[in-house]
Amino acid sequence: MQVRITLMVAALVLCCLAYLSLGARGDWSFVLAFRASKLAALLLVSFALSWATVIFQTITGSRILTPAIMGFDALFLLLLSLLVWSIGGQAYQALPVQGLMAANAALLCSAALILFKVVLRAGRDNMMQMILTGVVLSVLFRSLTSYVLRVIDPNEYAVVQAASFARFSNIDTSLLTLAAGLSLVAGLGVWHLRHRLDVTSLGPVLSTSLGEPPQRLQWQVLILISILVSVSTALVGPVAFFGLLVTSLTYLIIPSSRHADILPAAALIAGIILVGGQTMMERVLDLNTPLSVVVEFLGGLVFLFLLLRSLR
Amino acid sequence: MIDIHNLSYQIAGQPVLRDVSLQLAKGGVVAMIGPNGAGKSTLLSLIARLLPLQSGSIVVDDLQIGEATDIELARTLAILRQDLTVASRLTVRDLVGFGRYPYHRGRPGAEDRELIEAALKLFDLADLGDRQLDTLSGGQRQRAFVAMAYAQDTDYLLLDEPLNNLDIAASRALMEVLRDLTRQRGRTVVIVLHDINYAAAYADRIIALKAGEVVADGAPSTIVSDSLLQDVFQTRAKVKTVDGRPIVLV
Nearest CA in chain B to A122: B52
A216 touches chain B (CB under 8 A): yes
Stretch B21-45: mean pLDDT: 93
In A107-126, the residues whose Cβ lies within 8 Å of chain B are 122-124
Q: Which residue of B has its CA nearest to A214?
A: B50
Convert the pLDDT of each residue in B53-75 to its tens digit. Answer: 999 999 999 899 989 999 999 99
| Whether pLDDT at B175 is above 90 | yes
**Mind listing the pLDDT tens digit for each residue in A227-241?**
998 888 888 888 878
The answer to whether the Cβ–Cβ distance between B80 and A202 falls below 8 Å is no
Same domain flag for B24 and B85: no
- Which residue of B51, B74, B86 is in closest CB contact with A211? B74
A1 touches B at CB < 8 Å: no
- Residue B24, SS3? strand
φ and ψ of A258, to 5 deg: -85, 135
Residue A139: count other Cβ atoms within 10 Å of its Cβ: 12
> Does A201 contact B at CB distance below 8 Å?
yes
Whether residues B69 and B160 fall in one domain: yes
CATH number at residue B68: 3.40.50.300
**Integer-rounded Cα radius of gyration of chain B:** 18
Contact A194/B at CB under 8 A: yes
Average of per-residue pLDDT values in chain B: 91
Which chain B residues have a beta carbon less than 8 Å from that of A121?
none
Between CA A268 and CA A212, with CA A257 as vertex, the angle to 5 degrees is 115
How many domains in chain B? 2
B53 touches chain A (CB under 8 A): no
Q: What is the band of B20 on the pLDDT scale with cuts at 50, 70, 90?
A: very high
Alpha carbons A14 and A18: distance in angstroms, whole number:
6
How far is residue B148's CA from residue A232's CA, in Å, rounded to a whole number?
Answer: 40
Question: Does the beta-carbon distance from B89 to A255 stay under 8 Å?
Answer: yes
When mean pLDDT is compared over A166-170, B28-32, B169-173, the highest value belongs to B28-32
Is there a contact between A257 and B101 if contact means CB atoms under 8 Å apart? no
- Report which residue type is found at B84: L
Using CA atoms, how far residue B62 sits from A141, B65, B156, in Å, is 50, 10, 13
Beta-carbon separation of A195 and B106 below 8 A: yes
Q: Which residues of B7-25 are buried (b: 16+ CB within 10 A; e: fewer)?
A: bebeeeeeebbeebebebe
Same structural domain for residues B197 and B243? yes
DSSP state of B213: E
Q: Is the same domain home to B122 and B161?
A: no
Residues on chain B touching A198 (C-beta within 8 angstroms) = 98, 106
Residue-range domains of chain A with CATH:
2-9+50-163+173-272+283-311 (1.10.3470.10)
User: Does residue B165 share a domain with residue B93?
Assistant: no
CB A194 within 8 A of CB A263: yes
Q: CB contacts < 8 Å between A and B, how many? A: 75
CA distance A254 to chain B (A): 10
Nearest to A201 among B51, B79, B87 (CB): B87
Whether residues B106 and A194 touch (CB distance < 8 A) is answered with yes
Among B52, B101, B107, beta carbon nearest to A122: B52
What range defines the domain where residue B229 resides? 1-75+156-170+177-250
Q: Is the pLDDT of residue B17 over 90?
A: yes
Q: Is any Cβ of chain B less than 8 angstroms from the Cβ of A205? A: yes
Classify the complex by whether its ipTM is higher than 0.95, answering yes or no: no
pLDDT band at B85 (very low <50, low <70, confident <90, very high): low
pTM of the model: 0.87
The string of pLDDT tens digits covering residues A3-44 is 999 999 999 999 999 988 887 777 778 888 888 888 999 999
* Residue at which a domain ends, from B121, B153, B185: B153
B81–A216 C-beta distance less than 8 A? no
Asked if B42 has any chain A CB less than 8 Å from its own CB, the reply is: no
Residue of chain B nearest A215, judged by CA positions = B50
Q: Work out the angle at residue A55's Cα, subtended by the Cα atoms of residues A51 and A59, and round it to the nearest 5 degrees.
A: 170
Q: Check if B152 contacts A (Cβ < 8 Å).
A: yes
Q: Which residues of A are less than 8 Å from B66 in CB distance?
A: none
- pLDDT of B182 over the 60 cut: yes
B66 and B46, same domain (yes or no): yes
Residues of B in contact with A195 (CB under 8 A): 101, 105-107
Beta strand pairing call for B205-210 and B213-218? antiparallel
Contact B101 A211 (CB under 8 A): yes
Clarify whether residues B47 and B118 are in a common domain: no
Question: Is there a single domain that holds both residue B141 and residue B186?
Answer: no
CB atoms A195 and B89 under 8 Å: no
Q: How many angstroms separate the CA of residue B206 from the nearest CA in chain A?
A: 24
Shared domain for B138 and B53, answered yes or no, is no
Chain B residues whose beta carbon lies within 8 Å of the beta carbon of residue A216: 70
- Grouping H, G, I as helix, E, B as strand and the rest as coil, residue B4 is strand
Amino acid letter, A13: V
Q: How far is B32 from chain A (nearest CA, A)?
A: 20
Let me know whether B147 and B135 are in one domain: yes
Instruction: Report CB contact under 8 Å: B107, A195.
Output: yes
State the smallest CA–CA distance between residue B77 and chain A in angstroms.
7
pLDDT beyond 80 at B96: yes
Extract the residue ranges of chain A whose pLDDT is less than 50: 122-124
Whether B53 and B163 share a structural domain: yes
Contact criterion met (CB < 8 Å) for B71 and A201: no
Q: Give the burial class of A14: count Cβ atoms within 10 A of its Cβ; 0-12 exposed, 13-18 middle, 19 or more buried.
A: middle
Same domain, yes or no: B161 and B107:
no
What residues 103-122 of chain B have any CB closer than 8 A to a CB of chain A?
A: 105-107
- Contact at CB, B83 and A257, closer than 8 angstroms: no
**CA angle, B215 then B63 then B111, to 5°:** 115
Best of B53, B76, B98, B157 to mutate (most A CBs within 10 Å, chain A)? B98
- Which tops the pLDDT comparison, B250 or B121? B121
Distance CA B212, CA B37 (A): 8
Identity of residue A45: V
